[in-house]
Structure 1
Amino acid sequence: MAPARSPRELNVCMAKLAQKAERYEDMANFMGKVAADADNEELTVEERNLLSVAYSHVIGARRASRRIISSIETDESRGNEDHDIIRDYRSKLESEVVNICDDILNLLESHLIPSAFSGDSKVLYLKMKADYLRYLAELKTGAELKLAADTTIATYKSAQDIANAELPPTHPLRLGLALNFGVFYYEILESPVQAYFIGKKALDEAKSKLKFVGKESLQKSTSIMKCLSDNLIIWTSELQKDGGAAAQPDEPQE
């Protein structure tokens, strides 16, 4: 008879089943238990990927719903009798976004980041932390946005420092980090200049080392490089709108 599975193994198994059933909230709950019960032991690559995928789907669905309702709210005049209903529903969705972000940020800060030893895991967890701080920043304005943005930038930079020191330029995590950091500057801070420099630097460094990438990671690396390239086209067009070549300074501003 096969030995009984440990609670950790059982939760991983259930998370995989939930993923196949496309029940991502269940998947996130199972992987949250794995993370919380790891007792300062680093998660495996498979466990890290399951956790990341689960929360990515859960938050992605809420953010998409919130964007749709926010667009409807903007289109509706304040004199519309449904405006209060739309506003309240948008607030409900935003509360759900906050709860999801708080949940994963607590796991990252209390369990995952302190127990991370490999370069891959440290970069992944700090990247995730920065990404979920970015999702919270999307909901803020004014002084609150400034404070949230400063925290998010500091976290992305911490991840970037480790990625630059421990991962090759073609590593999917390092490329994905640059992509998301650039998106943050472009979408949240409306700074195509900063986005351009982050993306261009990452893409140029990766291109110079692409010939050394093994077949097992080549497809993933080139896929993210394509996303970076596509975004650079958008960011460059914004720079041109703001003044052409003069909008491209020699160095990005801190």
Structure 2
Amino acid sequence: MDQNEQAERFDDMTACMKYVTEQGAELSNEERNLLSIVYKNVVGARRSSWRVISSIEQNTEGAEKKQQMSREYREKIETELRDICKDVLSLLEKFLIPNASQAESKVFSLKMKTTTVTWLRLLLVMTRKELWISQNKHTTKAFEISKKEMQPTHPVRLGLALNFCVFHYEILNSPEKACSLAKTAFDEAIAELDTLSEESYKDRDEAEAGGGGN
């Protein structure tokens, strides 16, 4: 059985276990385990597909049609993952948790809820990281231009430096690199602070005022 057939089987089993759960009776130990297994597999299969298609999307830059197809498929997978997680949470909150009378059943239900919320958080992290990586390609190019064409004190150059710091800190989990970038931008700006004209101060203040509402 190939992966697609296996995924379809688990999708069918998920529908069956959803139906059983919605009948309202407390699930047996075997039923609970089966429910957990099928949902872990349908989520796991889609997370694997998400990683593969995201890699393809990143490696097809310049091939617009292929990149668009990859992006659309990735977004489809993300929607499916969200829907699956919402289904699980709905089953837990409407049936499993309220109907749990035994300690083992209560612990299982609460643990499964924690796992499902974790899946949703991971999905948010994955999609956010994908967006940041895509945007960072353009930010990198803009930052390189700003270093050649703009003074270290220019608000746009400083803003791009800040974006880089956030990217390395939050997405790449590299606080050392983020701090290094911030220190370099700060030191370079301070070194030229005395050379700023009154007009430059005015531009800086206007830029800060314009960004104050974010």
TM-score (norm 2): 0.52
Residue from 99, 102, 115 that aligns with 2:83? 99
**What is the alpha-carbon distance in structure 2 between the residues aligned to residue 108 and residue 140 of structure 1?**
21
What do the CA deviations read for 1:158-212 (whole angstroms, capped 9, x no partner)?
Answer: xxxxxxxxxxxxxxxxxxxxxxxxxxxxxxx99x9xxxxxxxxxxxxxxxxxxxx
Gaps of 5+ in 1: 1-19, 146-188, 193-254
Q: Which 4+ stretches in 1 moved above 6 angstroms?
A: none
1:111 is matched with which residue?
95
Partner of residue 138, structure 2: none
Describe the SS at the equivalent of 1:32. helix
Residues 1:76 and 2:60 are matched in the alignment: yes
Higher relative contact order (CA 8 A, sep 6+): 2
Query: What is the rounded CA distance, in whole Å, between the counterparts of 1:76 and 1:138 in structure 2?
Result: 25
**1:34 partner SS:** helix
State how far apart, in whole Å, the 2-side matches of 1:22 and 1:75 are.
Answer: 28
Matches within 5 A, 1:184-199: none
Amino acid at match of 1:90: R
2:104 pairs with 1:120:
yes
* Residues 1-254 of structure 1 aligned to structure 2 (within 5 Å): 23-38=9-24, 41-77=25-61, 79-81=62-64, 82-140=66-124
Rounded Cα–Cα distance in structure 1 between residues aligned with 2:75 and 2:8: 26
Bigger Cα Rg: 2
**Within 2, Cα distance between the matches of 1:28 and 1:21?**
10
Counterpart CA distance in 1 for 2:100 and 2:88 is 15
Distance 1:92 1:22 in 2: 16
RMSD of equivalent CA atoms? 3.0
Q: Which one has the bigger helix percentage?
A: 2
Q: Which residue of 1 aligns with 2:202?
A: none
Deviations 1:131-172 (A, max 9, x none): 22222222325xx99xxxxxxxxxxxxxxxxxxxxxxxxxxx
1:115, distance to aligned residue in structure 2 (A): 1.1
Aligned residues: percent identity?
Answer: 46
- AA partner of residue 60 (structure 2): E
5+ long unaligned stretches in structure 2:
1-5, 130-169, 174-214
Aligned to 1:224: none
Deviation at 1:118?
2.2
Shift of 1:22: 7.6
> In the aligned structure 2, how far is the partner of 1:46 from the partner of 1:138?
28
The 10-residue stretch of structure 1 (91-100 or 116-125) with the greater mean CA deviation from structure 2: 116-125
| TM-score of the superposed pair, with normalisation by structure 1 | 0.44
